[in-house]
Structure formats: structure tokens, C-alpha cells
Structure 1
């Protein structure tokens, strides 16, 4: 059942505020710590009948209507305005498109689906919109449709499910190396080629290797969103999701081992190879990688997302909700590209003609 956090002062839905890193009421501006909305820390004061937990806020549940359909979609009723909230089986936080009331789908945030850690949004919506506007105006050939207000309003804050892996790895590398040195005696120059057998045995611990567990988010784009600052990871509290969209994972950490193993192999190989320095050339003949047991932690990481279609193709703009890093492919307007080409040709032709006149 969806859940919302009510302001104890005015009854409006409270949201997580990225600026203060606290819960904030958009109506009366009351601010409260996220910990005050922690069910586990309520010391048993949560009453399932009244929906009251601890002091100072109300937790209200929606009696939703589950409907069968394609993609296991379900609808719930928003008690603020009565509109339907549509969510698929992986959605864990929604926002009513009519009244803007934030809601959490709690059964997708409990048990095996409860995240262990979270990095809260640090960049608010206004900052994300400003970043998008600056980015989109840097491209002279960007389609006008992407600059429209209706497109900009589609930007959404989304908590993307990730598995964070800790690995121990060992690399035993054998290489042939060569040093070339030159010595001059009198008028004669001698070149020596010294050959070496190089052996390295390197062990390393890799912490917090991220891999997104969302089927909807493209893996390559998510990899480019890195790095996140994991020093700001916090223990998960549902209240952090209020006011944002969120999804639970599509894939268990075991299903993503092969993808993460490739990254670990790359990291340990580069680390080991970098220890073989000071030679003119190095030829790696043998590279034996051993990965030991790993630990995987379920976490939610913040991303601002804007999706739209241009000439039948999907376009996606993404911004790291913690660091502000942008990942996007800029579409090109064919009309603007043609006009730009014609303009460039005309200017070039004019310059050539003027140059010819001066020569004469």
C-alpha cells in the first residue's frame, strides 16, 4: 500500500529537501529530521490502527485497488485528490500527476527489497533544470523542441537501484620486458638490449563497485554517471524517497556477477600492469586473475532524468543527483544543420571573393 508523510502542522505531504537534507513541508515550510520518520526508531510508538508513529507526524496509508493487466501494472487511489496512481511491479515511490502528492509503495521497500544504503539527492529540481537549460543551449543545432518549457517540465528525480560490490582480487602476471640503453665509446655508439623476466603477484581490495540493477536504465549510461561520493552513503530511510520517484531492483546481485567480474578483471589487470615500469617495452605473456568472495550491498543512487522523443527516436538526458555530472546524447535538428551548412558555405564564399578582390 502507498504511504505518505503528513506535516503535523498543516497536514500537507512532506518531502525530502536536498538543500537542508531534511524533511520539509512545501506549504508551511516546517522542517524535520529524516530520523523522525524512521519506523524502526519509533520505539514501538507506531500504531497500525491510527497510523501514528512517535511524536509529531502522521503516517497515512492508501487503500489501493489492485488491477490485473499487462506488465503487472497496479493502480492506487491518492487520498489527497482521489486520482489514480499508476505503478508497475518495480515502482517503490510515485508522485501524483494531478496534485503532486508524494507516495511510497511500502511493500516494495521491505524484506529483501529494502535497500541497505542510499545517497540522498543533493541537487534540487531548480538546479537540475538550470543545468539542463545551459547544456541544451550550448548546442547550436539542438532541436527547438528540446528547449521548450513543456519538455523541461518532464525532468524527474529518480532513485535508481544499484548493487555495490566489495571484491578481493589477486593477479599473477608474467611478462617479458626489455631495456634499451646506448653507450658511446670514442666515435662508436653501442646499443644494448637487456631482456628481463618479470613476475608480479598483486592483491587488492575493491570497494563499492557499482552496477545498476534497473532494466529501464541503459548500463553504459549508468556507468558514465560515476563516480559517486560513497562517503555520503547513509543508512536507508523511506523518508528520503518522499517527493521523488524510485524503483526496486530488477536483477539480483548474483545475476550481475559476470558484468562486475569484467570490471574487477580490468581494474586488477591495470593495477598490476602499472607496477611494471621503467622498461622500454613490456609484453605480458600470462595473466592469472583470481577473484575471492565478494559482498554485495543494495543501494539507491540519485539521478535526474528527462525522456522525450524526437523524430521517432528516444532521447534521454541524465544528471547525477549528487555530483551534477551530465550524461546525454545531443540530437541534431536536420533543418538547423542544413541552414548552418548553407550559412557556412555563403560566408566562406564571401570571404574568398573578398580575398580575390584585394589580390586584384
Structure 2
């Protein structure tokens, strides 16, 4: 089934607005908080039944214009290509697929486009196609699925260290090397280590988009997704746990090693780490994405929809590179020529 949140003032579809943190109607300007909407109009979004389930493709009907919405098996929120109104695919957000937490979008589309335009202007060799309005309009807000894990971690570390000191006696300098046996037994709790659970999102880029501000994380409510795309997880919590366990092991190792200071040399002899997963949550985090192709190669611009942090690939236009080289060469030639005239 699909759900569309209708404005109770004019009947138009409402979308979640990041800057005001409300469900907002672009038609009449009516706005209401997610909590207030659910309290007053709980489950009043209109729904219709799923129409098909062939080859992992599902077809739904737009609640505003009646057009068919075609989604894959992992899409949980979509936007009608005919009328532009948002729809939530309810069965992708319920049961085992129901998120516990969400960080709402804070940056709206206009701000995301402005951030992108400032970014491309910083690259003098950026291809002109990336400046086009048709490219900029393709930027898309997406809630990415994450698993958040809690760990109780410990590290027992043994090290051999030395400290060198110099003493002068009369005309002689003496260098002493003191040797130390070091033992550390450190315990720490790590809360909500994130792991991107989408097959479509590149792990290295998603890691670089961190950190998200968990202080703005809230209990999941479906209206937060209205107006944005969303994916349900491709990988279960069990499949992703090994990745975050490795991060927890590295965190506790870095903390323990950081307690060994003030020595000339340190040689780690033993490092026994363990991390016990105590809890996990399913959460959705906000990301603005823009995919583009240049000279047959795919590039991606990603923007943290909460903090504004950018992770992106910037292609280089060889035509612009040659043009800039020509300008610089010509300028250098003119300066040299003028300098020669003054000397003569």
C-alpha cells in the first residue's frame, strides 16, 4: 500500500520540510509538526493495494493522480514522476523493515542545490555539463538505511618501551636507555556505531559522510519520509555486524595505545581485544545524492542532509584544462615580452 499525507487545509500532498522540521504544504503554506499531525490525523493517509509482484518489481497507484508507481523491492518511499507528489510504500516500512530511529533532513533541496553549485565553482577545470540546470535539478534526497550497534569492548595490551636520557659529567656525555614493561587493561562502551546497510550506497563514501549528529535523532515516524526517496536495508543486522565489530576493535585498540605516552620507543608485544554486541537499532539517515556521467565514467556527489558535509568525485574537462594552460602560457609570454621591452 502507498500513503500520501494530505494537507487538511487545501487537500494537496504535504512533504517534510527540513529547515522548519514540519510537514508543509507548498500549495497553501500550511505547516504542522510530525507529532501534531499524527496526534490529530493518525492513519488518515489514503491507501491502495499493491497491484503486482513480478520479478521483484512492485506497482502502486499514486494517491494524487492515479498514475502507476513502479518500484523495486527495496524502495520504501518514492515520488510520482507524473504529478511530483510523494508516496510512502507502507509494507516496506512495517514489521521487520520498520526503522526504530531517524535523523530528519535539515537541509532542503534549494540549499542542497546551492551547496552543490558552490562546490562545482571551486573547480576551474570542472566540465560545463555539471553546471547545467538539468544536472542540478537531478539532486535527490534519500534516506539511507543504517544499522547502529552498541558494544562492550576490552583490550589487554603488553608493550616493551624505552626512554633515553643524557647526562653530562665533566667533559663527558653519557646516554642512558631505560627499559620498561608496560601492561594495560582497558574497557570501554561504544554506542551506536553506524554501518550503511544499502547495497546501492558505496561504503567508503558513506563512511566519509560521517559523523551524523545523534542529538537530533528521533523515534521513527513515517511523515519524516514524505517528499524524499527512501531505501529499506539490503543487508540484515547479522550480515553487517562483523564490519562494526572491526571498528569497535580498532577504537578500543587506539584508546589503549593512546595511554602509552612519553617513551622514546614502544613495541607492542600483545594486543588482545574483544567486543561484545549488546544492542542494535535500525535507523534512516538523510543524504542528498547526484549521479552524473562524463566521458563514459560515472561520478557521484553526496551531501550529508543534516550537517552539509560533502563527499564527491570531480571530473576534469581536458578542453578547459587546455584553455587554462593557453591563458596562463599567453599571460606569461606577454609579461616576459613587456619585461624585455623595459630592460632594453
State whether structure 2 residue 54 is matched by structure 1 residue 68. Answer: yes
Question: Is the 1:7–1:58 Cα contact (8 Å) retained in structure 2?
Answer: no
Superposed displacement of residue 58, structure 1: 3.3
Distance verdict in 2 for CA 1:358–1:281, change over 3 Å: farther
Normalising to structure 1: TM-score of the pair? 0.91
CA, structure 1 residues 358+182, in 2 after alignment: closer, same or farther (shift >3 Å)?
farther
Q: What is the DSSP-based 3-state SS (H/G/I as helix, E as strand, rest coil) of the residue aligned with 2:105? A: coil
1:154-169 matched pairs, under 5 angstroms: 154-169=138-153
Match of 2:212 among 214, 221, 228: 228
Deviations 1:63-102 (A, max 9, x none): 4421523xx1222221322322121100000011221111
Query: Over residues 22-75 of structure 1, what are the superposed CA-to-partner deviations in whole Å (9 max), with x where a residue is unaligned?
Result: 11111121122212444xx67xxxxxxxxxx55xx8310134421523xx1222
Partner residue in 2 for 1:58:
44
Give 1:32's aligned residue.
32
Secondary structure at the counterpart of residue 294 of structure 1: strand
SS of alignment partner, residue 5 of structure 2: strand
Confirm whether residue 20 of structure 1 aligns to residue 4 of structure 2: no
C-alpha separation in 2, matches of 1:201 and 1:272 = 8
Aligned pair count reads 344
| Aligned twin of 1:322 | 306
Identify the residue that residue 190 of structure 1 maps to in structure 2. 174
In the TM superposition, 1:112-131 aligns within 5 A as: 112-131=96-115
Match of 2:235 in 1: 251
CA separation of 1:178/1:148 partners in 2, compared to 1, >3 Å: closer, same or farther? same
SS at 1:257's partner residue? helix
Unaligned runs of 5+ residues in structure 1 are 43-52
Residue in 1 that maps onto 2:317: 333
| Equivalent in the alignment of 1:91 | 75
Q: Deviation at 1:160?
A: 0.2
1:282-333 Cα offsets, whole Å, 9 max, x none, are 1111111111233211000000111111111111111101100011011111
Matches within 5 A, 1:238-317: 238-317=222-301
Q: Deviations over 1:191-219 (max 9, x none)?
A: 10111111111111111111100000000
Q: CA deviation at 1:339?
A: 1.8
Q: Whole-Å Cα distance in 1 between the matches of residues 182 and 338 of structure 2?
A: 65
Q: Which moved more, 1:80-89 or 1:163-172?
A: 80-89
CA distance in 1: counterparts of 2:27 and 2:44, whole angstroms: 16
1:214 alignment partner in structure 2: 198
Q: Which moved more, 1:80-89 or 1:244-253?
A: 80-89
Q: Could you say which residue in structure 2 is the equivalent of 1:107?
A: 91
